[in-house]
Structures are given as structure tokens and as C-alpha cells.
Structure 1
Amino acid sequence: MDTLASLLAGNRDHAKRLSDSFDHLQEGQQPDAVTVCCSDSRVLQADAFGTDQPGEVFTVGNIGNRVVQVRDDATVVSGDVLYPLVHTDTKTAVVLGHTGCGAVTATYDALTGDMTEPPGIEHCIDLLAPRLADGVELLPHDLDRAAAIDRLVEYNVDAQISALSDSPHVPDDVTLAGCVYDFQDRYGGDRGEIHVINVDGERDPETLRETHPEIASRVSRYWSY
């Protein structure tokens, strides 16, 4: 119970700090963005964007920062991602992958060899695998494992953005941004920086910088394919 006690102590500080921050949120929410991040303890989802107030970001977390689920044998945009885009007038969706992603690594292993995982984890990998299979085929053959995974992290983010873009349920006026959180010095800059690799399906860094000068310094890709 020591861990739970520590968590609750932290919550007490949280409640004191934010006690007046919920006044305007009693009847509903209108977050500026929905973020879809990987369930990884090294990626502090809201804090990664400097968000410290309730109501600003609708946070979704799962293994592999997926935006899809399977319903009636069809792949659709997950309800937890779609909800703010349909019901809270949220106009920005951010898919945030991260360097050294364990889910991408497990999917890579499943696509290139054997995999033994509990059924729940296997289900998550099965949702990622169809979108990563072509990326695995595109990888240069002389890459080491770490370099392959880093490229597939970007490929996975691109694939999730494509799933959002292709969905008839995602409103046309929603901006779709694909990013990578780097804590392994892959992109340069400080550890913990977020790098933009995709906006509305556009992946070319130079084009992104020209089209979106306000974020030009944050645009960087590890892999162009």
C-alpha cells in the first residue's frame, strides 16, 4: 500500500492546486485538442505539452498510440479518440509516438519472427500489425534493431494519421498532427522534446516548414520513405 499512499499524497497536492480550476467545467468540456499517446510511463502525456489545467486537452492513452478498434469485423476509429472530435467541438487531433516504443518493437517482432504474449497484448499488436507490415518491408536491410524501431515509430504515427484522415466519421475541419516524443537523443535538441513529422498527411519536412512556419523549428523526421 505504500505506492498507493504515495499516489494519494500527490493527489492531495493536485486537488489543492486545482480546486478553483473546475468552476467553468462543471457542465461540460471543450478541449482544444485530443492527444493519442502510447501507454508508457516515460511519456507524461499532458505534461509533455506543458498542459497543467483541466479542460485543455482530452487525453487518450493505449499501447502503440492507436486510433483504431475493431467492431463487427470492421476497423473503425476508436470511440475514445472520436468522442471529442464529434461531441466537444475539438478541432485538433495529435498522435504522439515515442522513441524506443515497446509496442512497435513487439509488433516488429511479431511481423519478423515469433511472438508470445498474453491475449490482451496480442490483440493490441494485431491492431498495429496490418499498419506496420508495409513499413517493415520498406526498411533498409542493413539497419540494426534500434534504428529499425525508430523508423517504424514514425511509420506507425503516419499510419494512425492516415486512419483518421480516411475515416468518414472524423470531421473535415479537424487538423491531424503526427508527432514523436524523443527521450533517446534521436532527433537532437533536449530530451523530452516533441517533433512534428506529419500534418494532415503531409510528411515532407520542407513542405511542412513552408506551409506551417509557426512550427517550422519543431518539424523533423528520422525517416523519409
Structure 2
Amino acid sequence: MNRTIVDLLADNAEHARAFAGRFDEVQDGQYPEAVTVCCSDSRVLQDQIFGNETPGRLFTCGNIGNRVVQRTDAREVVSGDVLYPLAHAGTRTAVVVGHTGCGAVTATYDALAGGLAADSEPPGIEHCIDLLAPHIEPGVDLLPEGLDDAEAVNHLVEYNVDRQVDELLGSDDVPDDTDVVGVVYDFQDVYGGERGEVHLINVDGERDPTALRAEHEVVDDRIARLWTY
């Protein structure tokens, strides 16, 4: 047997022993407090970044680039993965989680800048880049001068989070009373806090740090942005 599978099953056995009694209240249904849309990067420990050890608390979606959209034959829509708890489980908080050094944003930036050949990725990855590109492209033209590539990517990580928040706020499928929040998970010492901290950058479309701190004093020390535009 593949050693990785053996190790995963051993770790799962420990998980089952620790969590066996925590499913009693959610065996027959779920009412998550929030839906999180995270990048599926292996360094983004999706539930763990919020200290979650409670089954049923978070409805976690993951994909490269923390996208909230999917493409149908007719048009681009909010993904059913994200909508499900909002439509069927009473969830009224959505959190878009970007992260520093995002590979999907990097690949999209490279494609927009002409550094990535059109056929250089498998079709599935190209599809993901094609979904991100229209949301990120306007941000490339707004980037401050003098940024190196890594800095440009981290600026665009914020820009992408903002655009995904906008998609949720602008969708008729998302209930009007849903709180939509955008954050960035930092493990690269970009924001100056602890590695692994989540930094709040957008609340219901408001992205000005001064306005956010005035409105949300209880978390004012967690509000930080690399740029406003």
C-alpha cells in the first residue's frame, strides 16, 4: 500500500477517536455558521486557520484561486458549492479567504503579462486561469509602479478577494442578509503579524481600512491592507 495512504489512515484513526462524540448534534443535518471559500493550496489549512474543531460549524469550499464563480452555458454564476449552505442551511456569513503567494493568482498574472504560453497548462488548470483572469485583469493596470513580481502578486491577491466579494454581493442568488467578508491568510511575513494570521481586508464591499476600523472596533487590530485603489 502507498505509504502516504497508510499514514493518512493512521492519522484518521486518531481523528476518529478524538472526534467520535462531536457528531451527535449534526448526524442528521447541518446549520453552519459560515461558508468559507479558501484556496486549495496545501499551506492553507482551511478549517484550522479558524481553530475549527466542531463538526457542522464551517461549510468549507476550496479551489485554486478561492473563486466563488463557475461558468454555465448561459453565463458566469456564483458556484453551487458556495450557495448550498446559504440556500439550504440558513448560513448567513460568507468568508472569501485569499493567501499570500497564491499560485493561481501568480499563474493568472503571468498569463495576463504574456509570460505564460496559452497551452502551457493542462486544460483543467487553463479553465481555472480563464475564470480568474477577467476578475484580476483590471487590477493589473492599477498596480503601483515599482513592485517586483512577488509584491505585485500579493497586491493582486487582495484585488482578487475584493472581486470575489463583489460577485457574492451582486448575485441575486445570495440572500440579501448575508454578511460577506474578505480576508488574506499570511504565512510569508507580508503583513507584519504572526505567520498564519488572517487579515481582514473587506467587509460587505467596504475596503478602506480607516472606515473598517471605525465600523468594526472590536477587530481593528486585525484589519490591514497592502493597498487601496
1:169 counterpart = 2:173: yes
Describe the superposition over 1:126-161 as per-residue Cα deviations: whole angstroms up to 9, x where unpaired.
000000010001112321101100100000000000
For 1:26 and 1:12, the matched residues in 2 are separated by 19
Counterpart in 2 of 1:155? 159
Give the alignment partner of residue 117 of structure 1, picking from 113, 116, 121: 121
State the partner residue of 2:29.
28
Report what 1:17 is aligned to. Answer: 18
Question: What is the deviation of 1:169?
Answer: 0.5
Code of the residue aligned with 2:159 in structure 1: it is Y
**Residue from 185, 190, 202 that aligns with 2:189:** 185
After TM superposition, list the pairs within 5 Å mapping 1:186-201 onto structure 2. Answer: 186-201=190-205
Deviations 1:66-118 (A, max 9, x none): 00000113000000000001110001100000000000000001111033110
Residue number in structure 2 paired with 1:76: 77
Q: Secondary structure at the match of 1:6?
A: helix
Residue 58 of structure 1: aligned partner: 59
1:222 paired with 2:190, answer: no
Instruction: Work out the CA distance in 1 between the residues paired with 2:74 and 2:123.
Output: 17
- The CA RMSD over aligned residues, in Å, is 0.7
Q: Please tell me whether residue 4 in structure 1 is matched to residue 1 in structure 2.
A: no
Structure 1 residue corresponding to 2:147, chosen from 143, 148, 152: 143
Specify the code of the residue in structure 2 equivalent to 1:108. Answer: Y
1:47 to 2:51 alignment: no
CA-CA distance at 1:212 after TM superposition = 1.1
- Counterpart CA distance in 2 for 1:101 and 1:8 is 29
Distance in 2 between residues matched to 1:198 and 1:28, nearest whole Å = 31
| 2:89 partner letter | T
**Partner Cα distance (2:207, 2:57) in 1:** 27
Amino acid at match of 2:41: D
Question: What count of residue pairs does the alignment treat as equivalent?
Answer: 225
Q: Secondary structure at the residue paired with 1:93?
A: strand
**For residue 124 of structure 2, what is the amino acid of its counterpart?**
G
CA distance in 2, matches of 1:174, 1:51: 21
Q: CA deviation at 1:26?
A: 1.6
Deviation at 1:13, TM superposition (A): 0.4
Distance (Å, rounded) in 2 between the aligned partners of 1:101 and 1:215: 25
In the alignment, what sits opposite 1:91?
A: 92
The runs of at least 4 consecutive aligned structure 1 residues that moved more than 2 Å come to none
Percent identity between matched residues is: 63
TM-score of the two chains, using structure 2 as the length reference: 0.97
* 1:196-223 deviations in Å (ceiling 9; x for gaps): 0000000000101111112111100011
